[in-house]
Amino acid sequence: MANNPINSLLGPNSDDSSGRGAMDNLENKMLTGRVTDISLNTNSTMWESAGQWAGIGTIKFQLWDSNVSLTSQNNDSTFNTAKPLFPQLKNYPLCNELVLLFRLPNTSESQISGKLSYYYLNVIGLWNSQHHNAYPDMFSPNSGDEQPSQMKDYQQIEAGDVRKSSPSASVLDFNGESGGDFVERSNIHPILPFAGDNIFESRFGSSIRLGSTSVTSGNIKNNWSSTGKSGDPITILRNGQPTSSSVEGWIPLTEDINTDKSSIYLTSTQQIPINVAVENKEDGEASTVPFSNTIVNIPISPKAYNGNQVILNSGRILFNTTSDSILMSSKQSIVLESVRDLAIKSQLNNINILAPSGIISLGKQNASESVILGDKFALQFENLLGTLKNVMKALAKEPKIPAAGAVARLSIPIIEDIVNLIPSMKSKKVKTS
Could you report the per-residue pLDDT of 104-145, keeping only the tens digit for each? 888 765 555 557 789 999 899 988 888 998 888 777 655 444
What contacts 167, CB < 8 A, 6 or more positions away? none
Q: What is the mean pLDDT of the chain?
A: 81
Q: How far is CA 412 from CA 103, 379, 419, 422, in A?
A: 105, 19, 11, 16
**Within a 10 A sphere around the Cβ of 373, how many other Cβ atoms?**
13
* pTM, entire model: 0.77
- Clarify whether residues 264 and 239 are in a common domain: yes
- Clarify whether residues 176 and 193 are in a common domain: no
- Clarify whether residues 156 and 220 are in a common domain: no
Mean of pLDDT values over 216-235: 91
pLDDT tens profile 252-293: 999 999 999 999 999 999 999 999 988 655 544 445 567 777
Q: How far apart are CA 81 and CA 120, in angstroms?
A: 10
Range of 414's domain? 374-425
* Residue of 75 and 58 predicted with greater confidence: 58
CB 392 within 8 A of CB 418: no
- Clarify whether residues 280 and 132 are in a common domain: no
Q: How confident is the model at residue 299 (pLDDT cuts 50, 70, 90)?
A: confident
- Clarify whether residues 180 and 263 are in a common domain: no
* Domain assignment present for 118: yes
* Domain assignment present for 91: yes
- Clarify whether residues 41 and 139 are in a common domain: yes
CB 260 within 8 A of CB 236: no
Per-residue pLDDT at 137: 78
* Residue of 228 and 169 predicted with greater confidence: 228
- Clarify whether residues 80 and 164 are in a common domain: yes
**Single-letter residue type at 15:** D
Residue 77, pLDDT above cutoff 70:
no
Residue 65, pLDDT above cutoff 60:
yes
Q: How far apart are CA 69 and CA 61, in angstroms?
A: 7
pLDDT tens profile 390-418: 888 888 887 778 788 888 888 888 888 88
pLDDT tens profile 356-386: 888 888 888 888 888 888 889 889 988 988 8
Q: How confident is the model at residue 177 (pLDDT cuts 50, 70, 90)?
A: confident
Residue 199, pLDDT above cutoff 90:
yes
Mean of pLDDT values over 324-345: 91
Q: Which of 184, 215, 243 marks a domain boundary?
A: 184
- Clarify whether residues 121 and 241 are in a common domain: no
Per-residue pLDDT at 140: 66
* Domain assignment present for 369: no
- Clarify whether residues 134 and 222 are in a common domain: no
Q: How confident is the model at residue 7 (pLDDT cuts 50, 70, 90)?
A: very low
**Within a 10 A sphere around the Cβ of 146, how many other Cβ atoms?**
15
* Domain assignment present for 366: no
Q: Based on the structure, what is the number of domains in the chain? A: 3
Which of 72-86, 321-335, 349-363 shows the lowest mean pLDDT across its residues?
72-86
* Residue of 65 and 242 predicted with greater confidence: 242
CB 239 within 8 A of CB 261: yes
Residue 19, pLDDT above cutoff 60:
no
Q: How far apart are CA 118 and CA 105, in angstroms?
A: 8
Per-residue pLDDT at 301: 87
* Domain assignment present for 277: yes
* Domain assignment present for 433: no
- Clarify whether residues 277 and 350 are in a common domain: yes
CB 338 within 8 A of CB 278: yes
Mean of pLDDT values over 76-91: 80
Mean of pLDDT values over 349-354: 90
